Amino acid sequence: MAIKDLLTNGPIVVNIGIEQFYHDLKKQDAKVVHVDWRPSALKSDLLSKLRKLREGGAN
Amino acid sequence: MVDVNNANKEALERVLSARPMLVGMGKAGEVIPEMGERMLLHAGPPIEWERMSGPLKGAIIGAMLYEGWASTPEEAEKMASKGEIEFDPCHHHHAVGPMAGVISPSMPVFIVENKTFNNKAYVTQNEGLGKVLRYGAYSQEVIDRLRWMEKVLYPVLNAGIKRAYDSDNAIDLKNLIAQALHMGDELHNRNKAATSLFLRTIFPYLVESSNDNKALAEVVRFLDSNDHFFLNLGMAAAKASVEPAHGIEGSSYVTIMARNGTDFGIKVSGLGDEWFTAPAAVPKVLLFPGFKPEDVNPDIGDSAIMETLGVGAFALAAAPAIVQFIGGTPQDAVNYTLEMYEITVSENNMFNIPYLNFRGTPTGIDVLKVAETGISPVLDTGVAHRQPGVGQVGAGIVRTPIEAFVKAAENYVEKYLAE
Amino acid sequence: MQRVEVVRGVYYDSVSLMRVAQELTKIDGVIDATLNMATEANIKIMSAAGFDLSGLDLRPSDLVIAVKAKEEIIDEIIAKAKEYLSNPPWKTTEISQQYFPKSLNGALSMLPEANLALISIAGQYAGDEAMECLNKGLHVMLYSDNVSLEKEIELKNTAKEKGLLVMGPDCGTAVIKGIGLGFANACPVGPVGMVAAAGTGLQEVHVQLAHRGIGVLHAIGTGGRDVKEAVGGITSLMGIEALLESDDVKVIVMVGKPPAPEVEKKIFQRLASGNKPAVLGYIGGELEGDRPPIYFCKELEETAAVAAAVVNGTDPALARKDLSLKYEHLKELASHFGKRKGYLRGLYSGGTLCYEAQLIASKLLGPIYSNAPLDGRYKLSDSLKSIGNCMVDYGEDEFTQGRLHPMMDSTFRAKRMIEEAKDDEVGVILFDCVLGYGCHESPADQLASAISQVKREVGDRVIFVGYVCGVEADPQIASRQRKILEDVGVVLADSNAQAARLACLLLQ
């Protein structure tokens, strides 16, 4: 069902990376938020452990 | 598996339910727990004499002269370097100190009690601006002022505070902080409104409890001339509010952020007594005329307890004028606050920001979120000259070193998630 | 020398005054400058800094401007100080930037109803970030490349379980409900739904449909590896499923290189049992013979022409015939411009456009060298050195390390154009000019300046053949881009396939 909703409602976007894409979506009147992304300060194995921990509780 | 969210919720609730009240004053050596006879407390994590920066060394020399442990600066330095004086963090004694943060036994301190958990916190009286002990000055002018604060300021304030307390009107510090946030203060670098509110609140009690008009006038004039007077009270209120949140199993809530001029250190609720440290940041800020970037001392002071509480730089959106210190716009002030929401457990229920539709300030730094996102907390702070006694050289926004938070996060994973 | 000036009865806060002082000290010849309200404390500070304030009758409501500078400029500096006070040079007049959150959670707290993450960060991080997004219930468009095959499989399996779409990795283009994501053209919306494994392949079909008056509602990108056996076509099949279910989609169009046999079978079976006609544009494929309502095409323009016919209810065979006639007429056009001697050099920003051009050219001219060749024997050892008849895809890894994608910046490609043209063994230079969101604001300008430089040096020895892939509504405005190129003597074709054919005809 989720894909059906995406196609019916249109994209409501979290843009992670190239800022130009954010501006282009705004030009098309799409709802979009741009993430000023930077890599985590943690090594990837630690990061995935922590993310699993978060999945356990609601956040 | 440990429930970090519930543990942090518990920590947050303790902080939000705090009621820090100004209940009295006393001499440090008499009221601060485990204050040794030849002990000096200082800001930040533990540190030995050899590693101390200029302002801290200067403040220690000044304190020793004030106590009469040494009669010249050279003698004081010799005694200190020989280990004849014991140094300990203020934080180890439920106390806090701005900049060098040195507390010696004869110094009068405020006693703040958190009525929700009955824990206390201690802090000295703020000396004012210019050549002062907390910036490492130790000239006769500084010693003389400290003596005046002991002999004149303290008795007058103490009497007023006692009178307020005895008439069931103990000064509610949390209330003053909340009001000041609506008046352009953020309670770290900007305390003008809070100081004014404090003076207004205590004034009748000072008058009623005074029988020495001359002393009273000196005290009032002193409070009026010092825009930062409330900072110390705010810091003790913060310390008293946050301390009960320490020691909760599984919690990643940061309960201390502090600097000693060489190291930056944090403590985390669920990680015991360990300090997680990293080299203190050298602030890049707007400098007063005549000073250069090389003059700047690394970050120093326990005043980061304000951000730990959820104000200071975290409430920058309530004090946009300060952002000019870093060449920004009011939107930048708002952005700093918005950024801090990304690394905190939740929002404050009493400290809020009118411009953000009265949204509560970001409260409860989550060390795991800091490490995950790469966003470390910002501080809004005064900056000292490297050499003792020169004084403040500027003020502005400082980014805390993320390594300290990464260390703590790794420690957390090791302790709670090891398979 | 020093000058102290007093302005009575004003108020400025200390921070503003410090900023002005800071600006003044930047000026050459200024030794020191300080501005302060004349409070007791500030008078002490200024005196300590060496300014002579003796004899001045000062009140806290007075502003003191104190400057130490070379005598010749002191008046000017004082005047500047006053100017900065009323017009601070650091104040921006623009409305300042809103807040960009720094984390996914931060973004979701600002836009809780988000349903898609568009990820274009470095490949080494993109895969994990995509997984985080899936865990938060978001569909993912993974523009990033250099994501491992294992990661892609893990992501798509996880997504499948959750009923979410993963478009990519290396998916540069998508359209959802008419909104373009990544590199996309501003084409009209209509009854076509696309599933595409190829970025510029999607764009070319999208644009060619628009030229035929046919709109596209959705174009689901799958990334280049989706239809390989290892991935099994997970995203392609989910996309097809969604388009079959969508009431607004009447015709399904697929574009990409031919899938692995097992995957191709699954796709065909699903479409055959579906209720909608489908046009399968397997570029460079071998399939012969339509099985209505499923049609097989081998080129991009052909795919669009056939799809248009299906939408209109006219005979696709006729559409193909019309196209063939058009291609025949290119021979006349070639004669008109006059044949050239020498090699063909193609310089492409779009990978699929380059691929299609190679398919066409290899049938007309023989083997084509390339950095991404059809036949491995003809791979260029140095992508920067052409051999024989040659086509270079500037979107390949060796060109994009540390550089913008060629569709975002044609500078590098334009330089190559000049080099190629100077080589007197070269007869025709063929290129694409891709427009749309995400692309450079005027690729034609970047290319035209190189081309006019070449024309000045070598005249008409080399002929430039180009194709502008875009529509009028694109930010760059297609007709304007075409004019810029025509003005420097470029021969423009109406499609990528026609451009490739024309270029070959000009050499034979």
SS3 assignment for A22-40 = HHHHHHCCCEEEEECCCCC
d(CA B304, CA B291): 24
Strand partners, B103: B41
Question: In angstroms, what separates the C-alpha of B300 from chain C's closest C-alpha?
Answer: 22
Spell out which residues of chain C touch residue A6, defining contact as CB-CB under 8 Å. Answer: 115-116, 139, 165, 176
Interface test with chain A among C102, C115, C240, by most A beta carbons within 10 Å: C115
Does a structural domain hold residue B7? Answer: no
Name which of B129, B339, B383 to mutate to probe chain C: the one with the most chain C Cβ atoms within 10 A of its Cβ. B339
In chain C, residues with a C-beta closer than 8 Å to the C-beta of A48 are: 128
**B269 and B220, same structural domain?**
no
Residues B264 and B350 in one domain: yes
The helix (run of H) or strand (run of E) holding residue A43 is none
Has residue B34 been placed in a domain?
yes
Residue that finishes a domain, picked among B196, B218, B238: B238
Does any CB of chain B come closer than 8 Å to the CB of residue A48? Answer: no
A-interface mutation test, from C99, C102, C118, C248, most A Cβ less than 10 A away = C118
Rounded CA Rg of chain A: 16
Say if residue B270 is in the same domain as residue B154.
no
How far is it, in rounded angstroms, from Cα B8 to Cα B248?
Answer: 8
Proportion of chain B in helix, strand, coil states, percent, rounded to 5: 45, 20, 30
Instruction: For residue B131, give both structure tokens.
Output: 């050549």
pLDDT for the residue numbered B419: 60
Q: Are residues B288 and B391 in the same domain?
A: yes
Q: Are residues B256 and B400 in the same domain?
A: yes
**Which stretches within C26-164 are classed as H helix?**
40-48, 74-86, 104-110, 123-135, 149-162
B130:C96 CB<8 A? no
Query: Cβ separation of A6 and C408 shorter than 8 Å?
Result: no
Q: Choose among A16, A36, A51: nearest Cβ to C119.
A: A16
- Going B71 to B74 to B80 to B84, the CA torsion angle's sign is negative
Q: Which residues of chain B fall short of a pLDDT of 70?
A: 325-327, 419
For residues B183 and B291, membership in a common domain is answered with no
B218 and B298 in a common domain: no
Spatial distance between the Cα atoms of B85 and B69, rounded to a whole number of angstroms = 9
CB atoms within 10 A of CB C89: 10
What residue spans define the domains of chain C? Answer: 2-86, 323-505
Joined together, the tokens standing for residue B396 give 């502005």
- Residue C473, burial from CB neighbour count under 10 angstroms (0-12, 13-18, 19+): middle
**C-alpha to C-alpha distance for C10 and C206, rounded to whole angstroms:** 65
Report which secondary-structure segment, H or E, holds B253: none
Could you tell me if C470 and C183 are in contact, meaning their C-beta atoms sit under 8 angstroms apart?
Answer: no
pLDDT of residue A58: 40
- Residue B279 CA to residue B53 CA, distance in Å, equals 12
End-to-end alpha carbon distance in chain A:
24
- Are the beta carbons of B375 and C103 separated by less than 8 Å? yes
How many CA within 13 A on the CB side of residue C255? 34
Q: What is the pLDDT of residue C460?
A: 85
C105 touches chain B (CB under 8 A): yes
Chains contacting B (3+ CB pairs below 8 angstroms): A, C
Q: Which of B2, B406, B413 sits opposite A41 (nearest CB)?
A: B406
If you measure CA to CA, which chain A residue comes closest to C247? A8
For residue B167, the 8-state DSSP code is T
> Which three-class secondary structure string do you get for B172-228?
EHHHHHHHHHCCCCCCCCCCHHHHHHHHHHHHHHHHHCCCCHHHHHHHHHHHHHCCC
CATH class held by domain C2-86? alpha beta
CATH number for the domain including B373? Answer: 3.90.1700.10
The predicted structure's pLDDT at residue B327: 63
Q: How far is C377 from C360, CA to CA, in rounded Å?
A: 18
pLDDT at A52 over 60: yes
Per DSSP, the three-state class of C392 is strand
The two tokens of residue C405 are 């994608």
Q: CB-CB: which of A14, A38, A39 is closest to C114?
A: A14
**Same domain for B345 and B226:** no
**HSE-up (13 A, CA, CB side) for residue B275:** 17
Type of residue at C14: S
**Res B73: pLDDT:** 95
C-beta contacts of A16-19 below 8 A and 24+ residues apart = A16/C104, A16/C107, A16/C117, A16/C118, A16/C119, A16/C120, A16/C121, A16/C129, A17/C118, A17/C119, A17/C120, A17/C121, A17/C143, A17/C144, A18/C120, A18/C143, A18/C438
Q: How far is CA B312 from the centre of its chain?
A: 10
Query: pLDDT tens digits, chain C, 508 residues: what are they?
Result: 999 999 887 777 677 788 788 888 888 899 889 999 888 878 888 888 889 998 888 887 789 999 999 999 999 999 999 988 877 776 554 444 589 999 999 999 999 999 999 999 988 899 999 999 999 999 999 999 889 999 999 999 999 999 999 999 999 999 999 999 999 999 999 999 999 998 999 999 999 999 999 999 999 999 999 999 999 999 999 999 999 999 999 999 999 999 999 999 999 999 999 999 999 999 999 887 899 999 999 999 999 999 999 999 999 999 999 999 999 999 999 999 988 889 999 999 999 999 999 999 999 999 999 999 999 999 999 999 999 999 999 999 888 876 788 998 898 899 999 999 999 899 999 999 999 999 999 999 999 999 999 988 888 889 999 999 999 999 999 999 999 999 999 999 999 999 999 999 999 7
Out of B194, B212, B238, a domain closes at: B238
Q: Is-contact C149 C225, C-beta < 8 A? A: yes
Range 18-77 of C in CB contact (< 8 A) with B: 18-19, 21-22, 25, 32-34, 41, 44, 49
Read off the DSSP letter of residue A3: H
What is the distance between the alpha carbons of residues C212 and C316, in angstroms, rounded to a whole number? Answer: 14
Whether residue C109 and residue B327 make contact (CB cut-off 8 A), yes or no, is no
Interface contact B4-A38, CB threshold 8 A = no
**Final residue of a domain: which of B193, B214, B238?**
B238
User: What single string gives the DSSP state of each residue in C151-220?
Assistant: HHHHHHHHHHHHT--EE-SS--EEEETTEEEESB--PPP-SEEEEES-HHHHHHHHHHHHHTT--EEEEE
Please determine, looking at this structure, whether the domain spanning C323-505 carries the CATH number 3.40.50.620: no
Summarised one tens digit per residue, pLDDT across range B292-329 is 889 999 999 999 999 999 999 999 999 987 777 666 78
The total domain count for chain B is 2
Closest CA–CA distance from residue B375 to any residue of chain C (Å): 8
Q: State whether residue A49 sits within 8 Å of chain B by CB.
A: yes
- pLDDT for res A57: 46
Q: Does residue C135 contact residue A25 with C-beta atoms inside 8 Å?
A: no
Contact (Cβ atoms closer than 8 angstroms) between residue C484 and residue C289:
no
- Let me know the angle formed at the C-alpha of C190 by C185 and C196, rounded to the nearest 5 degrees: 55
Q: Which residues contact C391 (CB under 8 A, 6 or more apart)?
A: C344, C345, C346, C347, C348, C354, C357, C358, C361, C368, C369, C370, C430
Query: Measuring CA to CA, which residue among B312, B308, B309, B316 is closest to residue B335?
Result: B316
Q: Across the B/C interface, how many CB contacts are shorter than 8 Å?
A: 63
My answer on whether B355 and B397 are in the same domain is: yes
Angle between helices A44-56 and B402-416 (to 10 degrees): 60
Per the CB < 8 Å rule, is C107 touching A33?
yes
Tell whether B338 lies on the interface with A, counting CB pairs under 8 A: no
- Please report, for chain A, the start and end positions of each structural domain, with discontinuous segments joined by +: 2-56
Q: Which among A11, A16, A47 has CB closest to C176?
A: A11
Domain containing B224 equals 19-238
Distance from the B54 Cα atom to the nearest Cα atom in chain C, whole angstroms:
22
Contacts of B339 in chain C (CB under 8 A): 99, 101-102, 106
With H, G, I as helix, E, B as strand and everything else as coil, classify residue B124.
Answer: strand
Check residue A41 and give its pLDDT: 82
B291 Cβ under 8 Å from any chain C Cβ = no
Q: What is the pLDDT of residue C397?
A: 85
Q: Region A30-50: what's the mean pLDDT?
A: 87
Interface contact B371-A50, CB threshold 8 A:
yes
CA distance A12 to chain C (A): 5
| Least Cα separation, residue C160 to chain A (angstroms) | 11
Q: Do A13 and C105 touch (CB under 8 A)?
A: no
Q: Is C90 in CB contact (< 8 Å) with chain B?
A: yes
How much is the pLDDT for C402? 67
Select the residue of A38, A42, A51 nearest B406 (Cβ to Cβ).
Answer: A42
On chain A, the residues whose CB falls within 8 A of the CB of C437 are 21, 24, 27-28
Tokens of C386: 């052409």
Q: Are C378 and C368 in contact (CB under 8 A)?
A: yes
Task: Give yes or no: residues B132 and B192 share one domain.
Answer: yes
Residue C296 backbone dihedrals phi, psi, to 5 degrees: -115, 130
- pTM (predicted TM-score): 0.82
* Cβ atoms C260, C165 nearer than 8 A: no
Which of C2, C4, C15, C108 should one mutate to test binding to chain B, selecting the residue with the greatest count of B CBs within 10 A?
C15
User: What is the CB neighbour count within 10 angstroms for residue C83?
Assistant: 12
The pair of structure tokens assigned to C492 is 């423009």
Asked if residue B172 is part of any domain, the answer here is yes
Q: Provide CB contacts within 8 A for B125, sequence distance 6+.
A: B108, B109, B110, B149, B153, B154, B157, B229, B232
Is A50 touching B (CB cutoff 8 A)?
yes
Question: How high is the pLDDT of residue C90?
Answer: 63
* pLDDT score, position C287: 81
Looking at residue C95, its pLDDT comes to 43
For residue C221, give the amino acid letter.
G
Mean pLDDT of A17-38: 93
Please, are residues B99 and B301 in contact by the beta-carbon 8 Å criterion? Answer: yes
Instruction: Name the region of A29 (left: φ>0; alpha: ψ -120 to 50; beta: rest).
Output: left
Residues B215 and B251 in one domain: no
Q: How confident is the model at residue A44 (pLDDT cuts 50, 70, 90)?
A: confident
Chain B environment of C44 (Cβ under 8 Å): 130
Q: Helix (H, G, I), strand (E, B), or coil: what is residue C314?
A: coil
For chain C, helix, strand, coil in percent to 5 are: 40, 20, 40
Same domain, B101 and B222: yes
Partners of B375 on chain C (C-beta within 8 Å) are 102-103
With respect to residue B156, please indicate whether it lies within any of the assigned structural domains: yes
A18 touching chain B per CB within 8 A: no
In angstroms, rounded to a whole number, what is the distance separating the alpha carbons of residues B227 and B100?
A: 19
Kindly list the residues from chain B whose CB atom is less than 8 angstroms away from the CB atom of residue A51: 372
